[in-house]
A and B are shown apart, each in its own frame.
Chain A
Amino acid sequence: MVSPQQHHDHVYDLKLLSVGPGHVTGSDVVHDLTGLDLAMKLHYLKAVYLFSSHAAEGLTIMNMKEPMFCWCNDYFMTCGRIKRSEPSGRPYIKCNDCGIRVVEGVCDKTLDEWIEMEDGSRWNLLVYHRVIGPELSFSPLVYLQVTWFKCGGISLGISWAHLLGDAFSVSDFVNNWGRCMATLKANGSPTVAPRSQTTVPKPQPLSAKQVNHVGDLWVIANNCKMETFSFNLTTQHLSNLIWRSIAKFREGFEPQVVTVCRKDPNHDNNILGNTQVIRSIKADFSVVESDLNKLASLIAGDQNQGRDERNMIEASVEKDNGLTDYIIYGSNLTFVNLVNAGLYEMELKGKKPRFAYYSIQGVGDEGAVLVLPGPPPQGSTVIMAADEAIW
């Protein structure tokens, strides 16, 4: 499992181990997956937090492990594995304490050098990622990579299966770990996201698209190669610029519907699950011709624009008991607003992260844009088809 030492690999000497709950969860504990969770199963979130050497001083993998066990006591569902129930075949999580996979690595650059590098795909080196499957019950749902930099700084890279929860849940998860490190006590057990009661037949959601059956290998089959780019520009204008640029590029096939995901106003830090608001927004005018402000008002603040499709997605998935496979991100051009996700709340030794970066692994062909908060200037991650690179 040690990655072969190649000359150009900046991160090397990878060591893998597992960390699980300190207490026995019990022999028959399961975590059920809602329709929304199952709709997200082909997507994975990647998060990287960079900490300077002051924050990382004195940290070793051994003294990071003990708070992890304490943290996993509360987040025992992340330590479980997927199983299919009999006879429906619907996936659920068996909480068998198998653990999250922790990876240790070393980087031959300093933090400053790393941040200044231009290659957008370098973040993948800081996040150890494997898809779920083909053996569902032996695929970890969460990977945590701790990389030590030449200057003494560290990065924490998390690969998270989206079926466990959205980016806001990941942020809470990481912030709770910070609290565990500080006090060896966590916030208390996260509760599971509430289930919606869907009995009334609902129309088809625009934001979810059916894909061909993926069986037990949960990965999206893209028709074109996807690439990830990061930007440091102000958010709103960036999103609009992108929508307009793409519309220009795809002349004749303007994306008139976009999906916008943002934090649920009633979001509770203690809830783990897919609770983010998913709205699909139709632009019933030519996107290319319109001005930026009109687009901005469509995307940004106006709560009444577009429809909240969460219940519809849930209903669609539940119609055949979770057997159909869907994608959400990339079924239409998707914008995810993470500005108020609390990305800079985690603390190591009282110090906040120097930089936090989020991305999505597994995006449909239409692409996705994540809008991140950050130390100014604010950043964004854009995942687009490679041949649509317009800059």
Chain B
Amino acid sequence: MPPIFTDFSASCNLKYVKLGYQYLVNHILALILVPVMVGVVVEVVRLGPEEIVNLWGSLHFDLVQVLCSSFVVIFVVTVYFMSKPRSIYLVDYSCYKPPVTCRVPFATFMEHSRLNLRNNPKSVEFQMRILERSGLGEETCLPPAIHYIPPTPTMEAARGEAELVIFSAMDSLFIKTGLKPKDIDILIVNCSLFSPTPSLSAMVINKYKLRSNIKSFNLSGMGCSAGLISIDLARDLLQVHPNSNAVVVSTEIITPNYYQGKERAMLLPNCLFRMGAAAILLSNRRSERWRAKYRLVHVVRTHKGADDKAYRCVFEEEDKEGNVGISLSKDLMAIAGDALKSNITTIGPLVLPASEQILFLLTLIGRKIFNPKWKPYIPDFKQAFEHFCIHAGGRAVIDELQKNLQLSPEHVEASRMTLHRFGNTSSSSLWYEMSYIESKGRMKRGDRVWQIAFGSGFKCNSAVWKCNRTIKTPTDGPWADCIERYPVHIPEVVKL
């Protein structure tokens, strides 16, 4: 047989072997139990009913024994239900859709860049190269203050942007869920780079006249992964407070943080960060079980800040001329890969099926004992999840994760298309990606979703959700008017 055919048939065989192995290991309990059950039933049938009654009588139970056993059983069951963590449901969420008046086409961005940096053609050239390869599209949006030449980032403009994005997302959430402002028990707002006094959470409380005994929190400075940190905080609070609603608002305010200098390492965020916000309603009320979209299964947080290089790789500082900007180090991708490995090591055992875990363990033992040159086994996370939401930090991040986790283009489609349509909206990008998957009609009951976000610090945070009910394609939401155009092909380099 020709060698290609043998290779093909060999790989086919391997695929079936693998499938067989996975089925065997993942359903081992069922495969063992079923024969046992069948055996018992056969035995019972063979014995006949009178024999069973005789068997029962010969056991000589008396009242005390029966009472004690039932008491023990009831006690164990009660303890189990009391100590089980409450289920946290995601009732619904809404993402902010910027108006067309905030749109920034490539040509406009480049022209403004040339005018703002008129004395630094090299920096302009750098920005153009970044934009060409960024994976962004022509419909991403910047806030009104940044459209001016030069930008006018006043505090008033920053507050204006915050009010615009946060209140729009929240109004939309109230309409979608029917939530009344006075029913919000916990409010968490996260915005990394804009932290006025009074806080953004106070701004929300003031606008919607929320209750005076609300538990409000404002997380700032925690980077693009702060969205999942807020979810984690909400989960912990909902364990302590029964029968409560928690609203989480994730956003990033661009206005005060647009870098106005010429250092290249600091110009990168200007090219990628765009306006966005998301508002999420979480609840532990049993009554929400029926209409909730998702249930929170796991949140895993990994912090590499103990390592100096990781700590400094995304650093806000002043350049030589006193302009404040966020400096991204060249090791960013390597550090991100490292943080991801740590996170996977923790989340793997929680979510991977037994088949993958065994393989990983065996390869690990083999590498330690037999031959260190064996390739480390990368568990197949596609077995554990149906959908992946990778924070749309930039094209490089998505490429890197796709490679490391061996994901197909369909798995990273939500991330790439969100980057194209909305740009890097920081902590809210995960929600735009979820919305994309729902808008495409791909979210079915029982599907598991993995949200991964990276952030300054350096942190890698993951959340695992399980879809509670098949979600109908939404008629509103940020993708409503453009989902038919997607997915689009994004060229390696866009000709400007």
Q: Which residues of A are in contact with B by a Cβ distance under 8 Å?
A: 1, 15-18, 20, 22-24, 62, 65-66, 69, 81, 96-99, 138
Q: Are A81 and B148 in contact (CB under 8 A)?
A: no
- CB neighbours of B26 from chain A (8 A): none
Q: Are A17 and B101 in contact (CB under 8 A)?
A: no
Q: Are B103 and A96 in contact (CB under 8 A)?
A: no
CA distance A97 to B110 in the complex (A): 12
The smallest beta-carbon distance between A119 and chain B, in angstroms, is: 29
- Judge whether B317 is part of the interface by a CB distance below 8 angstroms: no
Residues B91-118 near A (CB distance < 8 A): 99-101, 103, 105-108, 111-112, 114-115
Q: Which of A62, A69, A138 contacts B111 (CB 8 A)?
A: A138
- CB neighbours of B139 from chain A (8 A): 24
* Interface size counted on chain B using CB atoms at 8 A: 21
Q: Are A1 and B150 in contact (CB under 8 A)?
A: yes
The smallest beta-carbon distance between B148 and chain A, in angstroms, is: 5
Q: Are A18 and B112 in contact (CB under 8 A)?
A: yes
Besides the known contacts A23-B100, A69-B103, 15 further A-B residue pairs in the complex with CB atoms under 8 A apart: A1-B149, A15-B152, A16-B148, A16-B149, A17-B149, A20-B103, A22-B100, A24-B139, A65-B101, A69-B101, A96-B107, A97-B105, A98-B107, A138-B111, A138-B114
- CB neighbours of B114 from chain A (8 A): 138
- CB neighbours of B144 from chain A (8 A): 62
- CB neighbours of A20 from chain B (8 A): 103, 105, 108
Q: Are B147 and A81 in contact (CB under 8 A)?
A: no
The smallest beta-carbon distance between B305 and chain A, in angstroms, is: 40
Q: Are A18 and B100 in contact (CB under 8 A)?
A: no
- CB neighbours of B307 from chain A (8 A): none
Question: A65: nearest residue on chain B (CB-CB)?
Answer: B101
- Judge whether B318 is part of the interface by a CB distance below 8 angstroms: no
Known: A24-B138, A24-B139, A138-B114. A97 touches B101 (CB 8 A): no
Q: Are A97 and B108 in contact (CB under 8 A)?
A: yes
The smallest beta-carbon distance between B366 and chain A, in angstroms, is: 52
Residues 111-134 of chain B, each 1 if its beta carbon lies under 8 Å from chain A, else 0 = 110110000000000000000000
Q: What are 12 of the A-B contact pairs (CB < 8 Å)? A: A15-B152, A16-B148, A18-B111, A18-B112, A22-B100, A24-B105, A65-B101, A66-B99, A96-B106, A96-B107, A98-B105, A98-B107
- CB neighbours of B107 from chain A (8 A): 81, 96-99
Residues 143-159 of chain B, each 1 if its beta carbon lies under 8 Å from chain A, else 0 = 01001111010000000
- CB neighbours of B138 from chain A (8 A): 24, 97
- CB neighbours of B148 from chain A (8 A): 15-17
Question: A23: nearest residue on chain B (CB-CB)?
Answer: B100
CA distance A138 to B114 in the complex (A): 9
Indicate the member of B99, B100, B115 with the most A CB atoms within 10 Å.
B100
- CB neighbours of B149 from chain A (8 A): 1, 16-18
CA distance A81 to B107 in the complex (A): 9
Known: A17-B149, A18-B112. A96 touches B105 (CB 8 A): yes
Indicate the member of B99, B107, B147 with the most A CB atoms within 10 Å.
B107
- CB neighbours of A22 from chain B (8 A): 100-101, 103
- CB neighbours of B103 from chain A (8 A): 20, 22, 69
- CB neighbours of A99 from chain B (8 A): 105, 107-108
CA distance A18 to B146 in the complex (A): 11
Known: A18-B108, A97-B107. A1 touches B99 (CB 8 A): no
